[in-house]
């Protein structure tokens, strides 16, 4: 037997020998299925968490898969054993991770910021009709105009406050209606005035960072939560855009919407000085209607019948 044949038989000989020792068998199992555990992807003992900034993109990708997507990790590990090149490995990681997320990732670098959240909140200061990347946003401007608001959001504070309170009453009125068209319109207003309660719907990218929120971590629990948030936001925005389209096409409904906004704005503005007076700590009476009286204004709204 020549030297090359002996070398070829070496793996079989070694694996047979290792198979007799349970410790070596376990090491062999780790080398086969979780080799990263023997070398990289181990958190630095000086830190509690994995340091995403200190590692390269591929290491971060493998670590994330090991923590959250074992199926992707297993398949990539086998590809590595087959000697597949790094570019192909990277592509497999990207595709594998993206299939597990509601919002797919574009590059492994994005993994450093936690599970992606599709923040699609509305901010009047950022609304730009000429921004081709945000086509629905310029369509919101005529609706904001009904509330006395315009692009830039430079209106005085009392105007903004009245618009906000008017929107709250309208939402309350719309959500009490069972018809889909009104439910969609309510979602449109909840989106426009950041009142949905869903982070992805209410916050813009800028507002999210300015508020100093921490991103979610790469844990199975956080990934499931972020997927739920993104899915809910996606459904929410779809409904809101349906509401927008209906308001743009149904002229009778648009008129009713505009009329209701005007009526409620007047009622809210009229009630504001009284409310401020009642909020005066030196006054002898205090507000009794817990939700700032919005419920009282709902009776002013009138909506046409819709299927």
Six-digit token string for 304 = 């046409």
Is 45 or 307 the residue whose CB approaches other proteins more closely?
Answer: 45
- Span of 4-12, 88-96, 269-277, 285-293 interacting with other proteins by CB under 8 A: 4-12
Residue 10 CB, shortest distance to other proteins, in Å, is 10
Is 41 or 297 the residue whose CB approaches other proteins more closely?
Answer: 41
Six-digit token string for 52 = 């995403």
In the list 32, 113, 209, 213, the residue contacting other proteins (rule: CB under 8 A) is 32
Dihedral sign for Cα 283, 288, 292, 298, please.
Answer: negative
Classified as helix, coil or strand, 282 is coil
- Span of 19-27, 187-195, 211-219, 239-247 interacting with other proteins by CB under 8 A: 19-27
Q: Please give the Cα distance from 73 to 71 (Å, whole number).
A: 5
Nearest to 71 by CA among 49, 100, 51: 100
Residue 19 within binding range of other proteins, rule CB under 8 A: yes
In the list 50, 61, 62, 66, the residue contacting other proteins (rule: CB under 8 A) is 66
Do residues 261 and 146 make contact, with C-beta atoms less than 8 angstroms apart? yes
Span 97-126, contacts to other proteins by CB under 8 A: none
Residue 232 within binding range of other proteins, rule CB under 8 A: no
Reported for 125-133, long-range contacts at CB under 8 A and 24+ positions apart, including other chains, are 125/152, 125/153, 126/204, 126/206, 127/151
Span 175-194, contacts to other proteins by CB under 8 A: none
Residue 222 within binding range of other proteins, rule CB under 8 A: no
Residue 34 within binding range of other proteins, rule CB under 8 A: yes
CB atoms within 10 A of CB 151: 17
- Span of 64-72, 141-149, 184-192, 202-210 interacting with other proteins by CB under 8 A: 64-72
Location of structure tokens 């376990």: 26
Residue 74 within binding range of other proteins, rule CB under 8 A: yes
| Radius of gyration of the chain from its Cα atoms, rounded to whole angstroms | 29
Interface residue list for other proteins (CB under 8 A): 8-9, 11-12, 14-16, 19, 22, 25-26, 28-34, 37, 66, 70-71, 73-75, 77-78, 81
């Amino acid at each position: 037997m020549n030297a090359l044949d002996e070398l070829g038989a070496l793996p079989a000989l070694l694996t047979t020998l290792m198979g007799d020792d349970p410790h070596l068998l376990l090491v062999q199992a780790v080398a086969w299925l979780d080799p990263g555990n023997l070398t990289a992807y181990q958190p630095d003992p000086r830190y509690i968490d994995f340091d995403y900034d200190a590692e390269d993109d591929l290491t971060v990708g493998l670590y994330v898969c090991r923590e959250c997507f074992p199926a992707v990790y297993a398949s990539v590990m086998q590809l590595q054993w087959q000697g597949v090149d790094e570019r192909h490995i990277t592509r497999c990681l990207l595709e594998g991770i993206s299939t597990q997320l509601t919002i797919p990732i574009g590059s492994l670098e994005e993994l450093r910021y936690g599970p992606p959240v599709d923040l699609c909140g509305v901010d009047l200061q950022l609304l730009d009709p000429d921004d081709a990347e945000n086509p629905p946003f310029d369509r919101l401007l005529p609706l904001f105009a009904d509330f006395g608001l315009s692009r830039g959001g430079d209106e005085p504070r009392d105007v903004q406050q009245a618009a906000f309170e008017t929107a709250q009453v309208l939402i309350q009125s719309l959500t009490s209606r069972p018809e889909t068209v009104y439910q969609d319109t309510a979602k449109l207003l909840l989106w426009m005035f950041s009142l949905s309660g869903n982070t992805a719907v209410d916050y813009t990218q800028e507002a999210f960072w300015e508020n100093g929120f921490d991103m979610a971590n790469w844990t199975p629990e956080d990934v499931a939560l972020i997927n739920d948030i993104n899915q809910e936001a996606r459904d929410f925005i779809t409904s809101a855009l349906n509401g927008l389209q209906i308001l743009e096409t149904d002229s009778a409904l648009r008129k009713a919407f505009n009329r209701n906004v005007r009526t409620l704005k007047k009622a809210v503005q009229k009630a504001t000085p009284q409310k401020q007076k009642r909020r005066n700590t030196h006054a002898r009476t205090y507000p009794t209607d817990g939700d700032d009286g919005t419920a009282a204004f709902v009776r002013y709204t009138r909506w046409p019948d819709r299927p």
